Structure 1
Amino acid sequence: MADAIELDLAYRRAGGDGAPLFETYGYQLDQAGTFRFAGEIAPSRLAVEAIREGGEARATLVLAAQPGVGLRRQHEAKREVDEAIQAHQSAKILLEAMTRLRSTQR
């Protein structure tokens, strides 16, 4: 760390503006912290969304399967199923990204 400070000071003495090593470190720290926070919170939020959408889809499917149901109810069920699929797909994409990241950190 002391060497990085000396290099940034030398950069300034040579007429440079700012502190490139400090700024790069700060950027990397911010990025790592943001991803770690997202990695801790996002999976839970996506799980809640997938559970909620899945429940709504199941409920509308039961109603749409009843005798004499109208097209409106069937379209509603299809929309809810589509939303559930999208919520599960979003969760899957995040899990795949987290898995790839963790496998590269080993």
Structure 2
Amino acid sequence: MASFEEGDAKAGENVFKTKCAFCHTLQKGAAHKQGPNLNGLFGRQAGTAAGYSYSAANKDSAVVWGENTLYEYLLNPKKYIPGTTKMFHGLKNPQDRADVIAYLKQSTA
């Protein structure tokens, strides 16, 4: 089974473009879309990106985003944060999750 340490950022970029970019931006100062801008994601508490309207479930979750939390969250967002309004059904493939995390680490710092 893949872990976030084994992710390939280039492969993650492709997964992000096909599965995530419709709802999320990555660049500092970029507008929110259907989902929040992910710049500065690592180490940030869920539900706290300025200017984005989060569900109460996200704001109250106390989740701090890191490799482990994202790896679990991306498997099944609605199970990880019950009550979230996120429409994404998750990335079932462990390697896709690891790759996206590697790409996000590279692209959101």
Considering only CA atoms, is the larger Rg found in Structure 1 or Structure 2?
A: 1
Q: Which has the higher contact order (CA 8 A, sep 6+)?
A: 2
Q: Which is helix-richer, 1 or 2? A: 1
Normalising by structure 2, we get a TM-score of 0.22
Normalising by structure 1, we get a TM-score of 0.23
